[in-house]
Structure 1
Amino acid sequence: MRRIYLESIIGIFICFFVGLTAYEFSVYRWTTDYEYLLEEYEASAHQEMLQNILDNQGPEQALSAISLFTKTTRNTLTTFSSDDSIPERVSKYFSLNTGMKVYFDEDRDLWIRLDGIDATFLYSPNEESLVRQKVEFENSLIWVFFGTSFVLYGVVHLLIIFRRVNKLEKATLKFAQGDLSTRAETSSSSAIGSLNRSFNIMADRIYHLIETNRALTNAVAHELRTPIFRIQWQAELLKETSMSVSQQATVESIVEDTEEMEQMVDELLCYSKLDTQHIELECQTISPILLIEGALGRWKKETSFEIILLNSEHIEGKIFVDKKLLTRALDNLVRNAIKFTKSKILIEVHEEREVVSIAIHDDGPGIETEHLSRLFDPFYVGSKARNKSKSGHGLGLSIVKKICEQHEAQVDVGRSQILHGALFTLSVPLCNKPADNHIQ
């Protein structure tokens, strides 16, 4: 962003100096400089007036007029009595142009000759005079004001653009972070051309697409429940009839598949509900240790692996959460560890900096680095073999992330330094108000 503004201000200065250069060439180099032409007309008129005074009133009056003009115009008069004492370029000009009596040199100093006086007069500005010093100062001051106003305009203009771009950037980031209701301001004081309106059109289309997808997923999940229940019910009836061993095994397989489908539908409905921005949480203040200990017995019944709770006696803080949802998040993380562990699982609890962290270690193979960035994406399964007993449906960890977002909590994944397997850490803010530290 800073590079854009730096390039803009440099571009403005380049355009400014290119414009000045173009003005210099177009006015003073490629066309007639009418300011200089006017000076030559005035010089010729002055010479003719002096010549008229010389012819009618004599040399003394002409010299007096020259002296008066020099004093009045704040110039310096230099008189050259012979051509040998004047610059060669001036002498050459008068010798080649015998009819010309005035000449401006490269410094725009005026040289004059009069018929009847054997001398050449030079008018040059008196730079020490107060008037000319003031004129020079004012000319310099014009450029100072012009340059300052130009820079001030450029800076203010860029600041206005920066403020508008910054607003649009914030809206874009909020939208990218999941707040699909975010829209850019379209007022004339905030818009950048039609960019804000185009962003809102894009956001509306994306929002409609996502909401349509959510509604479709939710509707399909709801509609699947009835046929799945019918299949389960009919399969249970079949189990009560006399069948061969192979038929019995087939019916058992059907029941298992329908149970798996039912679990997938349940996860779809849960994810669809959590994906809504304005879900109503049934929060209560509870001790994280009591929450874990309440689920620990159930977890141990689901596996033969050892599950150990560490640091439980040092945790005194309370958390304000939806007990049912947070328990489900812990269930998903622990059951994920059960799928991949080899012998045991450690649940470690830490409390620091207004946050309680629940770390779940396993001694399984861990998670490859290539899967870490997408592990919490819905339906993403790191295992290419897609073994359902191991990988599941790809919604468990996504549900954990959504539950954390609803509680302003955070879930991270890495490698355990204790068991050298996977490490999932659930970080939940502690209650900040003393009145909230009451266990319900």
Structure 2
Amino acid sequence: MRRIYVESFVGLFVLFVLSMYAYKVIVFEMNPNYEYMLARHEGAALRELITEISADQGQEKALSMLNRYAKHTAHTLAIVDYVNLPQQVKAYFDAPHEEHPHTYFDHEHHLWMQTADHSLYYHLHDDDSTELRQAIYRDDNLVWGFISAGFFIYSGGLIWFLNRRVRKLERATLKFAAGDLTARAPERSKDQVGTLNKSFNYMAKKIADLITSNRSLTNAVAHDLRTPIFRIQWQAEILQDETLTKEQHSKIVSIIEDTEEMEAMINDLLHFAKLEQPETQVQSEAFNLNQVLSTVSSTRNEGLDITVNTLKDGYVIIADKALVQRSVDNLLSNANRYAKSSIQVSTHCSKENISIIVEDDGEGIDPEHWPQIFDAFYSADPARNKATSGSGLGLAIVKMIAEKHQGSVQVGSSSLGGAKFTLTFPRVS
């Protein structure tokens, strides 16, 4: 957001500078400088007046009147001979001019006049030491101060105005991204950013309807599948008690295993869907982490050596015990499928967090799969064979449980040679 505001301010500033430059070019360069033309006419009239006074009342009287004029108009009068004229002034008077040949304004808009006999030159320039001139300069600078202050106040007000409206839209966007599908941007005229609020709400409604219908369909299918799977499993178990050949018994065992796997997948799917609901709240309670890890040894497969390294006295955390237990079980189940001979479970406590670390000595997970390994139904094993693949929801559930507790889960490489999963919960004093 800051970048947008900075770009807006810079854009306004550039527009302000370009506008002032365009004003200067159009008014003073493309069009005649009427103030300069008026000043030349005034200078010529002043010389004509001084010349007439000099002819009627003498040069001293004319010089006295000119001095009085200079004093009252906050100018300084200087009399210069031809030799001491600046080169630019001298060049002007040496060249013939049809209009106002005896008066000249230099680049500082100071007046130069020739006397009637062309022997002397009068130079009128601003007397900056007078109070009147200082007041004029102060007012000129004050005008630019007001223009600059007005620009900055307008820019700040515009940015504040946009920020107030954009912030409301941003809050609605973050709520929607966090899973609150009912979040909407305000559509009152004082809160809208053009038509962006209405467009966002239209998009949010379409996405919410799609997600809701998808969840409803998934839950309905999962619930409805339980009954036929149970019937298949029940009938297979009845057949298992019948007098069958060895090959038939083997096939029935395989059917029972498949139905059990399907049942586990449906349970995971329903649990995942429940956790995915924004309104699902964790039932926090205080418990010792060692209570969760005490059941680890009972989850190992035949031939696996599980080592549990926990804190001596454990650590009391405030969390949903059932969910923490589920997340640890899922990590252990994942390790059981891929470990060759050993699994190691350990805990680590820092000032802010407490972590549960599950490692195995399997083949590990290629780093290219790490960013997606916690996505639902993602498998690092493209073959997804029955012996080593689960429902595809175990790690996704672990991630969701961690996020429900404002924690995290990460995957890495273990010193044992396999995968290393670190489940972290914030430490509550």
Tell me the TM-score normalised to structure 1 length: 0.83
Q: Which amino acid aligns with 2:25?
A: F
Identify the residue that residue 25 of structure 1 maps to in structure 2: 25
Q: Which amino acid aligns with 2:312?
A: E
Identify the residue that residue 223 of structure 1 maps to in structure 2: 224
- Pairing of 1:234-313 with structure 2 (within 5 A): 234-293=235-294, 295-296=295-296, 298-300=298-300, 302-313=301-312
Instruction: Quote the Cα distance in structure 1 between the aligned partners of 2:64 and 2:201.
Output: 82
Identify the residue that residue 71 of structure 2 maps to in structure 1: 71
Contact 2:113 2:123 in 1 (8 A): yes
- Pairing of 1:30-429 with structure 2 (within 5 A): 30-53=30-53, 61-79=61-79, 87-93=89-95, 95-97=96-98, 100-112=101-113, 120-155=121-156, 157-158=158-159, 161=162, 165=166, 168-169=169-170, 171-185=172-186, 191-293=192-294, 295-296=295-296, 298-300=298-300, 302-315=301-314, 317-353=315-351, 355-417=353-415, 419-429=416-426
Contact 1:286 1:320 in 2 (8 A): yes
Q: What is the deviation of 1:280?
A: 4.4
Q: What is the deviation of 1:4?
A: 4.6
Instruction: Quote the Cα distance in structure 1 between the aligned partners of 2:366 and 2:166.
Output: 39
| 158-167 or 351-360, larger mean C-alpha shift | 158-167
Runs of at least 5 residues in structure 2 that lack an aligned partner in the other structure: none
**SS of aligned partner of 1:382:** coil
Contact 1:354 1:430 in 2 (8 A): yes
Q: What is the deviation of 1:352?
A: 3.6
Q: What is the deviation of 1:379?
A: 0.4
Q: Which amino acid aligns with 1:46?
A: L
| 347-356 or 184-193, larger mean C-alpha shift | 184-193
**SS of aligned partner of 1:32:** coil
Instruction: Quote the Cα distance in structure 1 between the aligned partners of 2:108 and 2:251.
Output: 111
Deviations 1:112-164 (CA, angstroms, capped at 9, x unpaired): 45668975433332333332233223323333443344345435544554565
Instruction: Quote the Cα distance in structure 2 between the aligned partners of 1:271 and 1:219.
Output: 14
Q: Which amino acid aligns with 2:204?
A: A
Q: What is the deviation of 1:19?
A: 2.1
**SS of aligned partner of 1:123:** strand
**SS of aligned partner of 1:319:** strand
Task: Report the number of matched residues.
Answer: 426
Q: Which amino acid aligns with 2:255?
A: I
Q: Return closer, same or farther for 1:403/1:98 CA change in 2, 3 Å cut-off.
A: closer
Instruction: Quote the Cα distance in structure 2 between the aligned partners of 1:47 and 1:210.
Output: 90
Q: Which amino acid aligns with 2:230?
A: F
Contact 1:382 1:391 in 2 (8 A): no
**SS of aligned partner of 1:208:** helix
Q: What is the deviation of 1:275?
A: 0.9
Q: What is the deviation of 1:277?
A: 1.6
Q: Which amino acid aligns with 1:310?
A: N
Q: Which amino acid aligns with 1:29?
A: E
Instruction: Quote the Cα distance in structure 1 between the aligned partners of 2:99 and 2:420.
Output: 104
**SS of aligned partner of 1:390:** coil
Could you tell me the percent identity over the aligned residues? 39
The alignment yields a C-alpha RMSD, in angstroms, of: 3.2
Q: What is the deviation of 1:167?
A: 5.7
Contact 1:303 1:338 in 2 (8 A): no
Q: What is the deviation of 1:326?
A: 2.5
Tell me the TM-score normalised to structure 2 length: 0.85
**SS of aligned partner of 2:388:** helix
Deviations 1:244-301 (CA, angstroms, capped at 9, x unpaired): 54444443333332222222111111111111122244443322212222x235314x
Runs of at least 5 residues in structure 1 that lack an aligned partner in the other structure: 433-440
Deviations 1:315-350 (CA, angstroms, capped at 9, x unpaired): 2x3233333332222221111111111112222233
Q: What is the deviation of 1:57?
A: 5.2
Q: Which amino acid aligns with 1:382?
A: A
Q: Return closer, same or farther for 1:364/1:100 CA change in 2, 3 Å cut-off.
A: closer
Instruction: Quote the Cα distance in structure 1 between the aligned partners of 2:378 and 2:303.
Output: 28
| 342-351 or 117-126, larger mean C-alpha shift | 117-126
Q: Return closer, same or farther for 1:157/1:272 CA change in 2, 3 Å cut-off.
A: same
Deviations 1:410-430 (CA, angstroms, capped at 9, x unpaired): 32222223x232222223345
Q: Return closer, same or farther for 1:223/1:112 CA change in 2, 3 Å cut-off.
A: same
Contact 2:93 2:102 in 1 (8 A): no
Q: Which amino acid aligns with 1:208?
A: D
Contact 1:341 1:362 in 2 (8 A): yes
Contact 1:361 1:424 in 2 (8 A): yes
Q: Return closer, same or farther for 1:268/1:100 CA change in 2, 3 Å cut-off.
A: same
**SS of aligned partner of 1:389:** coil
Q: Return closer, same or farther for 1:31/1:299 CA change in 2, 3 Å cut-off.
A: same
Instruction: Quote the Cα distance in structure 1 between the aligned partners of 2:23 and 2:373.
Output: 64
**SS of aligned partner of 2:226:** helix
Instruction: Quote the Cα distance in structure 2 between the aligned partners of 1:16 and 1:22.
Output: 10
Instruction: Quote the Cα distance in structure 2 between the aligned partners of 1:382 and 1:183.
Output: 37
Q: Which amino acid aligns with 2:91?
A: R
Q: Which amino acid aligns with 1:223?
A: D
